Structure formats: structure tokens, C-alpha cells
């Protein structure tokens, strides 16, 4: 009988030690003060700020060094005025073909399609309505300033990509779109010949 | 043949008459004929209309519901004449300026957001679009006049689920079989011992003597079994303690419930959205970054219903972001989504996503597992130091066409001369303590 009681005690220990972990529980830690940062980490909850976030926007009116400020408003007038906006960068062909394509595939191709024909994967499987094609019609000859404005603020069902792409990346993607459009896109007119919407 | 010709010209006559009546009456609505699936010419026109609709309209409109612009299904009764509606499509601003009552009402209703003009479309093309819209309302697809519906997605979902339940079924069957066999074995053992007892009694031994011997051997067996059990238990206990100690602070397999049941299996696996579409920081910073609701809303302004949880989970995004799907506008201040952090490297370890993803060109799945198959994300890797170091020892650095490593001239030279096959992370200091601990 003595052995039996030993057995029960031991099997109890085994059972409990096996139950420390389950998938809903991150498990135990060794010296938690060395694991968790004393300072608030990016993306963590923060009781000090009113909105409870550690990630804060810079104070209103302050501008980070080198940050580009887009001068046109998200209005119909702003859209029309953005025609004057020109690409300030000169990219090498290599940059456009590699980095530009990379960014296009991540951010645009899911709807606009790898070729820019508006037949991305989400459109093909019927989850999202097709956007207009780049390869003909209005978008083929849309001035690059208006294209930038659209990436900045979104248009129709397309959302803003201002937070995902920075100033240089936006122009890089637009340059890549021009290569998709071939000759017509490369000479995207700076002056507005297509729009009569707000006149 | 001749009959159908008469029929067609007759219907043409009728439609002309209808158009005449409509254009003369003040508010009769716009009449667009239904497409007869058997009429190849009408189907072709509707197909043209569909292509035009998809190229020009779907960025803002849907037939059956409001998107950016109004739903188009009930447009027919709201407009007085077809001419005005065509004019509106081609240049809405001009119709508004002409003082058309309904045009101005719509313009006000949608916060003076103008519809882009489509001066390149001809009247005939706009009419084709109308033809398509009317057909689509009735569920007719001109590119597929036969009306066969594809259900590939539904079938795909069903098969994966079937495979899952099949797996658990086989384990159940195995356990059941094992239990039946064990019971059978016990019963057989019982029967043989009883039979041998009966045989011995038949040979003339006394029952009491047999039972006394049996009791003694039973006691000895229990004692032996007890010793074996204690040894096994001790080994298991030591193993558990050791394992538990090793796993202290490691969360491999951690799979907490999240505030929104966001499925990576759906978004990455089926929809094939790139990881970086949402985790925008992964190539630029130490953090991969958790997307804000504005990235969700890029698609979910339109997609209001998911395949698995219906509207429930997507409604949570609307609550967090303050979006009102009926009004189509942000009406409340956004709230924070408190996602549960899964991967947590200790504070004394430095890890940088951009170094691994952008410079090292490591696939996300190398460390995060088959994310594209995870319904709920779980920690795939142990994130232990041994795991990090192993990978640093084995992984070849992408030296070719990578400016980042141009400073390692000696290695580049050796590779050129053929003295060296490749460079591992360890070769460039990837196992030095202060590389990660500082």
C-alpha cells in the first residue's frame, strides 16, 4: 500500500508538470524583469498618453527633417491643381524595374493586376470590383501629378497609400506604372487634356 | 428565320414607341429592355456594356448597393428621361448646372462629390452599359449566358475542412480500437487464469493452497510493479522538470484569441495579399508593424461580409475605426485595437526585421511558419537562442548583387578566386555576443 501512495503522489506531480503549457497561455518566464522592457515598446499600450498608445504622431505643426509636405488638399480643386506636380526624382532604369516593381506588386497588383489591366487576383476571384485599366482610356494619359494625388489621398474605392509609401516610393511606383503603359505612359502629359469634370 | 426577323423589328418598333412615350411624358422613368439570353446581338451589346462598366464604373458604383456613389439598381425610376441620364453619365456637372432637380438632389446627398466626366463614351456605349446594368440586376451574366455558376471557392473551403475532420476521425478510431483490444486482452487473461485454476483443482490440489500461492505471488508482483512504476515516474518527472526549465520563457505554439478573428489563411492563403501590404514596416524598420484600421478599410469599405464569420468580424473593424457603412463615412473617433502580442523576444535581445527581410531576403515563413494556412496565428519558432544561432551558422548570406555587403572585400575576393563557396552569417560576425546583446 505504501508504494501505491507513492505512485499516486508521483503521478500527480507528473500530471501537473505536464499541464504548465497550453496554446492559450504563453508559458512561464525566467526572470521576467529581464524579458520585459521597462521603457514602453513600440505598439504597446501606454497609460501616459490620452489615447493610450505608445506610437504617437509628431506634434501638430512640427516637420521631421527632410519630410516632404504635399501642397495640395484632398478636394476637387486640389485634384485639378495637382496637375502642376512633377516628379522631382530621376530614377535609374534598374531602380524602377526592381524597387518600383517590388512596391507595385506589394501595394497595387492585388487589384490593378501585374500588367496594370485592372485584373488583379482579388478581381479575378470576384472579391473586389475591377479598377479602371491603366492601359487604355482615361488613365493611360492621366497627368502624373493627378496620379500622385490619387496615391496620396485615394480615389473612388481606392484608399490612401500615404501611410504605406513615402514620397520617393510613390514616385517610384508611378514610374513603374509608366513602364507598364509603354510609350503612351512614358509621355504622360503634364498638362491636362482629359479632364472636364470640374469645369 | 423570317418569323424572328419580324419579331425583332416588331420589338424594335415597340421600344422606339416606348422611348417616344417616355421622352414626351414628364416623369415616367427610364425604360431599358431586358436582355434575352437567346438573342446573340443583345447579349453581345450587354457584354460590351459589362466591359465598359467594369472599366469605368466599378471603382465607385455597384448595382445592388451603395459604394462610393449610389446603388444603380433603382436609377431607372429616379430619372425622367434616358437622354438626361445619358447626359448625366457623360458629364454630370453640366446637368447639375442646367438646374435639373434630381441631379442637384443627388449632388447634395453625396456631399457635392462630383462623378468624373466620361466625354469619350458615345451615347450608344452608355446605352450598352444601361443594358448590362439592367441585365445584371436580374442576375444575368453576359459573359456566361448559359448561367452556370462557379462554386470553386466554396468547394475549396469544404475540402480543407473535410481533411481536418478526417484527421481527428482517424485518431478517434485508433483510440477506440486500442481500447477494444485492451478490454479483449484483459477478458482473455481472466479466462485463462480461471481455467488453469479449474484444471489444478481437477488434478486434486486443494483450492485453499492454490489461492494462498496466488495471493503471495500477487503481493510480490505488486511490489515489483511498484518499484518499476516509481523508477518510471522519477525518470518522467526529471524529464518534465528539465523540459519545463528549458521551455521557461519560450512560447512556441502560443495561439491566443485575438480581439478580431482575423484569418491569415483567408487574406494570405486565398486572397494572396502580400505580407508587406499590411505589415508596412517590415522592410524599413525594426518592427514589422501591426496595421492600423485605415489599411483594413482600403478593402473593407467595400467588402462588408466575410466567407466564414459573415458580417460579425468585419463589423468590429467598423466599430474600431468609427466607420458607418450605411452613411459611407467615418462618424466616430477611432478606437485602439488591443491585439495580443504573440512573439516576444526578451528585452535583452535586439532583433531587426528590415535586416532580415530587406537585406537578408529571408522569407517571412522561415521564422513565422506557414502563416498562409493559419486561421489563428500561433508562434511557430521557439525563438530560443539556440534556434537563432543555428540559423546564423547555416544560412548563406546573399553576397551577390547586394550592395549592403560590399565592404567585405576579402570575402568577395575569395569568392571570385574560387577559394570560398559562400559566406555564412557566422562568417560576418553573426554569432558574436554583442551582435544581438548590447
| Shortest Cα–Cα distance, A157 to chain B (Å) | 5
The radius of gyration of chain A's CA atoms, rounded to the nearest angstrom, is 27
Confidence check: pLDDT of B244 > 90: no
Specify the pLDDT at position A165. 93
Residue B203 and residue B133 share a domain? no
Average pLDDT over residues B105-131: 81
Q: What is the ipTM of this complex?
A: 0.85
d(CA A81, CA A71): 10
Number of domains in chain A: 1
Residue B231 and residue B182 share a domain? yes
Confidence check: pLDDT of B153 > 50: no
Residue B175 and residue B131 share a domain? no
Percent of chain A with pLDDT strictly greater than 70: 83
Residue A134 lies in a domain: yes
Residue A9 lies in a domain: no
Model confidence at B11, pLDDT cuts 50, 70, 90, reads low
Mean of the per-residue pLDDT values of chain B: 83
Model confidence at A33, pLDDT cuts 50, 70, 90, reads confident
| Shortest Cα–Cα distance, A84 to chain B (Å) | 19
Residue ending a domain, choose from B231, B246, B261: B246
Q: Scan residues 104-143 of A and list those with Cβ closer than 8 Å to B.
A: 105-107, 110, 118, 121-122, 125, 127-133, 136-138
Taking an 8 Å cut-off on Cβ atoms, the answer to whether B255 and A121 are in contact is: no
Confidence check: pLDDT of B12 > 60: no
Specify the pLDDT at position B3. 57
Residue B175 and residue B64 share a domain? no
| Shortest Cα–Cα distance, A87 to chain B (Å) | 23
Q: Which residues of B touch A154 (CB under 8 A)?
A: 298
| Shortest Cα–Cα distance, A44 to chain B (Å) | 9
d(CA B66, CA B73): 10
Residue B374 lies in a domain: no
Q: What is the CATH number of the domain that holds A181?
A: 1.10.760
Confidence check: pLDDT of A149 > 90: yes
Residue B63 and residue B7 share a domain? yes
Percent of chain B with pLDDT strictly greater than 70: 88
Tell me the per-residue pLDDT of B163-176, one tens digit each, with 9 for 90 and over.
444 556 788 899 99
Q: Which residues of A touch B227 (CB under 8 A)?
A: 3
Residue B20 and residue B70 share a domain? yes
Confidence check: pLDDT of B14 > 70: no
Angle between helix axes B2-24 and B82-90 (nearest 10 degrees) is 80
The DSSP code sequence of A54-73 is S--PPPTT---TT-----S-
Taking an 8 Å cut-off on Cβ atoms, the answer to whether B55 and A18 are in contact is: no
Residue ending a domain, choose from B78, B112, B137: B137
A55-69, A98-112, B156-170, B363-377: which range is least confident on average? B156-170
Among candidates B59, B113, B338 on the partner chain, residue whose Cβ is nearest the Cβ of A132: B59
Average pLDDT over residues B202-226: 85
Burial class (CB in 10 A: 0-12, 13-18, 19+), B242: exposed
d(CA B322, CA B333): 6
Confidence check: pLDDT of B32 > 60: yes
Number of domains in chain B: 3
What domain range is A180 assigned to? 92-186
Q: What is the CATH number of the domain that holds B129?
A: 1.10.760.10
Strand partners, B330: B323
* Residue A23 forms contact with B (CB below 8 Å): yes
Q: Which residues of A touch B346 (CB under 8 A)?
A: 34-35
Among candidates A43, A110, A118 on the partner chain, residue whose Cβ is nearest the Cβ of B273: A110
Q: Which residues of B touch A128 (CB under 8 A)?
A: 299, 302-303
Residue A173 lies in a domain: yes
Residue B15 lies in a domain: yes
Average pLDDT over residues A144-157: 93
Confidence check: pLDDT of B412 > 70: yes
Q: What is the phi/psi pair of residue A45, to 5°? A: -70, 145
Residue B438 lies in a domain: yes
Tell me the per-residue pLDDT of A60-80, one tens digit each, with 9 for 90 and over.
889 888 889 999 999 889 999
Q: Torsion over CA of B380, B384, B387 and B389, rounded to 10 degrees?
A: 150
Residue B223 and residue B117 share a domain? no
What domain range is B70 assigned to? 2-137
Residue B178 and residue B128 share a domain? no
Residue A103 lies in a domain: yes
Residue B31 lies in a domain: yes
Specify the pLDDT at position A105. 95
Residue B76 lies in a domain: yes
Residue A137 lies in a domain: yes
Model confidence at B438, pLDDT cuts 50, 70, 90, reads confident
Q: Which residues of B touch A130 (CB under 8 A)?
A: 54-55, 58
Angle between helix axes B82-90 and B123-137 (nearest 10 degrees) is 110
Amino acid at each position: 500500500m505504501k508504494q501505491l501512495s507513492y505512485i499516486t503522489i508521483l503521478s500527480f506531480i507528473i500530471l501537473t508538470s505536464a499541464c504548465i503549457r497550453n496554446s492559450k497561455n504563453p508559458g512561464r518566464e525566467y526572470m521576467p524583469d529581464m524579458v520585459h522592457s521597462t521603457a514602453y515598446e513600440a505598439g504597446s499600450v501606454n497609460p501616459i498618453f490620452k489615447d493610450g498608445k505608445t506610437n504617437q504622431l509628431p506634434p501638430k505643426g512640427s516637420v521631421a527633417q527632410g519630410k516632404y509636405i504635399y501642397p495640395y488638399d484632398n478636394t476637387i480643386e486640389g485634384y485639378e491643381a495637382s496637375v502642376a506636380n512633377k516628379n522631382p526624382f530621376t530614377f535609374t532604369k534598374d531602380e524602377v524595374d526592381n524597387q518600383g516593381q517590388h512596391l507595385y506588386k506589394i501595394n497595387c497588383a492585388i487589384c490593378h493586376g501585374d500588367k496594370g489591366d485592372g485584373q488583379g487576383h482579388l478581381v479575378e476571384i470576384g472579391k473586389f470590383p475591377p479598377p479602371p485599366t491603366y492601359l487604355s482610356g482615361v488613365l493611360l494619359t492621366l497627368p502624373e501629378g493627378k496620379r500622385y494625388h490619387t496615391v496620396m489621398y485615394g480615389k473612388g474605392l481606392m484608399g490612401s497609400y500615404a501611410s504605406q509609401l513615402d514620397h520617393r516610393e510613390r514616385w517610384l511606383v508611378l514610374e513603374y506604372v509608366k513602364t507598364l503603359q509603354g510609350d503612351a505612359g512614358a509621355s504622360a502629359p503634364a498638362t491636362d487634356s482629359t479632364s472636364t469634370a470640374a469645369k | 428565320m423570317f418569323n424572328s426577323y419580324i419579331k425583332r423589328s416588331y420589338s424594335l418598333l415597340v421600344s422606339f414607341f416606348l422611348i417616344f412615350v417616355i421622352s414626351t411624358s414628364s416623369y415616367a422613368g427610364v425604360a431599358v429592355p431586358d436582355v434575352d439570353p437567346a438573342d446573340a446581338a443583345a447579349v453581345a451589346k450587354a457584354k460590351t456594356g459589362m466591359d465598359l462598366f467594369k472599366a469605368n464604373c466599378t471603382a465607385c458604383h455597384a448595382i445592388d448597393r451603395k459604394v462610393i456613389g449610389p446603388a444603380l439598381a433603382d436609377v431607372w425610376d429616379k430619372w425622367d428621361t434616358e437622354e438626361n441620364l445619358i447626359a448625366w453619365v457623360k458629364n454630370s456637372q453640366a446637368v447639375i448646372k442646367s438646374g435639373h432637380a434630381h441631379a442637384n438632389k443627388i449632388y447634395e446627398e453625396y456631399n457635392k462629390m462630383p462623378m468624373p466626366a466620361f466625354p469619350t463614351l458615345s451615347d450608344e456605349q452608355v446605352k450598352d452599359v444601361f443594358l448590362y446594368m439592367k441585365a445584371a440586376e436580374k442576375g444575368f451574366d453576359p459573359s456566361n449566358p448559359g448561367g452556370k455558376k462557379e462554386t470553386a471557392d466554396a468547394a475549396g473551403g469544404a475540402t480543407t475542412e473535410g481533411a481536418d475532420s478526417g484527421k481527428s476521425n482517424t485518431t478517434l478510431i485508433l483510440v477506440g480500437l486500442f481500447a477494444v483490444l485492451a478490454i479483449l486482452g484483459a477478458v482473455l487473461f481472466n479466462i485463462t487464469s480461471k481455467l488453469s485454476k479449474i484444471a489444478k483443482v481437477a488434478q486434486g490440489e486443494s483450492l485453499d493452497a492454490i489461492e494462498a500461492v496466488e495471493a503471495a505471488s500477487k503481493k510480490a508482483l505488486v511490489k515489483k510493479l511498484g518499484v518499476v512504476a516509481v523508477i518510471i515516474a522519477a525518470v518522467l518527472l526529471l524529464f518534465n522538470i528539465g523540459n519545463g526549465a528549458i521551455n521557461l520563457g519560450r512560447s512556441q505554439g502560443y495561439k491566443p484569441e485575438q480581439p478580431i478573428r482575423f484569418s491569415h489563411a483567408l487574406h494570405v492563403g486565398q486572397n494572396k495579399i502580400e505580407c508587406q501590404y499590411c505589415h508596412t514596416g517590415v522592410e524599413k524598420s525594426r518592427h514589422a508593424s501591426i496595421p492600423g484600421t485605415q489599411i483594413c478599410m482600403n478593402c473593407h469599405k467595400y467588402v462588408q461580409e466575410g466567407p466564414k464569420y459573415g458580417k460579425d468580424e468585419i463589423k468590429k473593424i467598423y466599430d474600431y475605426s468609427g466607420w458607418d457603412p450605411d452613411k459611407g463615412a467615418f462618424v466616430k473617433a477611432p478606437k485602439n485595437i488591443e491585439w495580443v502580442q504573440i512573439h516576444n523576444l526578451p528585452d535583452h535581445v535586439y532583433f531587426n526585421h528590415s535586416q532580415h527581410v530587406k537585406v537578408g531576403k529571408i522569407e517571412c515563413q522561415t521564422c513565422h511558419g506557414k502563416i498562409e494556412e493559419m486561421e489563428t496565428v500561433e508562434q511557430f519558432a521557439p525563438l530560443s537562442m539556440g534556434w537563432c544561432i543555428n540559423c546564423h551558422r547555416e544560412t548563406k548570406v546573399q553576397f551577390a548583387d547586394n550592395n549592403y555587403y560590399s565592404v567585405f572585400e576579402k570575402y568577395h575576393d575569395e569568392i571570385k578566386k574560387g577559394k570560398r563557396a559562400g559566406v555564412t552569417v557566422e562568417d560576418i560576425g553573426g554569432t558574436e555576443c554583442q551582435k544581438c546583446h548590447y
